[in-house]
Amino acid sequence: MTSPHFGFAEKRVVVTGAASGIGYRTTELLLEAGAHVVALDRNPVDLKVAQFVPVDMTEATTIDAAAREIDGEIDVLLNIAGVPGTADPLVTMKVNVLGLRMLTELLIARIRSGGAITNVASIAGAQWQAHLDEVQRLLATPDYESGVAWLRDHPMDGKRAYDFSKECVVVLTKQHGRYLREHGVRVNSISPGPVRTPILKDFRESIGPLLDLVTRETGRDATVDDIARVMLFVSDPVLQWLNATDVQVDGGFMSGLVGGWVKLG
Ligand SMILES: NC(=O)c1ccc[n+]([C@@H]2O[C@H](COP(=O)([O-])OP(=O)(O)OC[C@H]3O[C@@H](n4cnc5c(N)ncnc54)[C@H](O)[C@@H]3O)[C@@H](O)[C@H]2O)c1
């Protein structure tokens, strides 16, 4: 399938989580669109990318090393790597929030004006306003290690860690929206509903009947194509004024709750 996007030719795009699922499909579409992709993952990436950089987002030293290993300037950063609520809660928070924040803050000065950062959150983070105080307290920690210390003082179970991690991604995105004025770089997040990837079974395990409800009410789960296309759209360098916002990509489920055509229970 030919990509409808035309703003990525010759652009240098860093993609985390490129080895599987949403990140893999996003990388394929970027390559079709003529981008030079720098792929970051803990696992090897079997696509013809410009550069593969191994990273373990649970280890700050490898994030630091990865940022230094990335060649040259960057146009777009796509933070896609993530783990589900079946993982150890501290691992979930490290990968989904602290690692994402650290990598972004290490790379921001190298992202060219006119560029973009897009983070993958989730509809699991939709209650961010209800938990804003707690989210802001974690995000007030200045760095990765102090974030880990805060999390050790505030233990939570796996399901809460996943929801909290995605609430943090939505709010961090809004905080990083200042990069448009400071660096000319837009920052947005997308929040998928259930997506057919290898970790969907983990989500069914940790979220349970609510996830089945989403699938039933919207008629199906998203494909990786549904999500990857929105990643490219939101991140496209031809856009200039979409900033600091979260785009729900859930077949309308969350808005359907407000619209009344989706019913809980
Ligand atoms: N699948 C869904 O239903 C769904 C729904 C909403 C949001 N999401 C989010 O989408 C993103 C992508 O998930 P996916 O569904 O494509 O899953 P996936 O498991 O197919 O891909 C996740 C990728 O992240 C990488 N990763 C995990 N831990 C890492 C670490 N410590 N260091 C470096 N890389 C690491 C994995 O190796 C993998 O390539 C995640 O942030 C996830 O939370 C997924």
1, pLDDT greater than 60: no
**CA–CA separation, 224 vs 28, rounded Å?**
11
Q: Quick one: tokens of 36?
A: 């030079």
43 contacts 22 by C-beta, under 8 angstroms = no
Report the candidate in 79, 85, 98 with the shortest Cα–Cα distance to residue 41: 79
Ligand 1 atom closest to 19 (CA): 39
| Ligand 1 geometric centre to CA of 20 (Å) | 7
Report the candidate in 37, 35, 36, 43 with the shortest Cα–Cα distance to residue 17: 43
Decide: 147 in ligand 1 pocket, CB within 6 A.
no
Amino acid identity at 163: D
239 contacts 200 by C-beta, under 8 angstroms = no
Q: Quick one: 84 exposed, middle or buried, by C-beta within 10 A (0-12, 13-18, 19+)?
A: buried
Phi, psi of 198 (to 5 degrees): -60, -25
* Residue ID of nearest Cα to ligand 1 atom 15: 197
Domain boundaries, the chain: 12-257
Q: What does the pLDDT look like over 103-159, one tens digit per residue?
A: 999 999 999 999 999 999 999 999 999 999 999 999 999 999 999 999 999 999 999
b/e map of 139-155 (b: 16 or more CB within 10 Å)?
bebeebeebbebbeeee
Of these residues, 24, 144, 162, 179, which one is catalytic? 162
Q: What does the pLDDT look like over 152-186, one tens digit per residue?
A: 999 999 999 999 999 999 999 999 999 999 999 99
**CA–CA separation, 151 vs 138, rounded Å?**
8
| Ligand 1 geometric centre to CA of 31 (Å) | 20
- Specify the CATH architecture of the domain 12-257: 3-Layer(aba) Sandwich (3.40)
pLDDT (0 to 100) of residue 6 = 66
State the DSSP H helix or E strand holding residue 106, giving kind and residue range, or none if neither.
helix 100-107
Phi-psi region of 200 (alpha: psi -120 to 50; beta: other; left: phi over 0): alpha
144 is catalytic: no
The mean predicted confidence, pLDDT, of the chain is: 96
Q: What does the pLDDT look like over 17-68, one tens digit per residue?
A: 999 999 999 999 999 999 999 999 999 999 999 999 999 999 999 999 999 9
Stretch 3-21: mean pLDDT: 88
Q: What is the pTM of this model?
A: 0.97
* Residue ID of nearest Cα to ligand 1 atom 19: 199
Stretch 64-80: mean pLDDT: 97
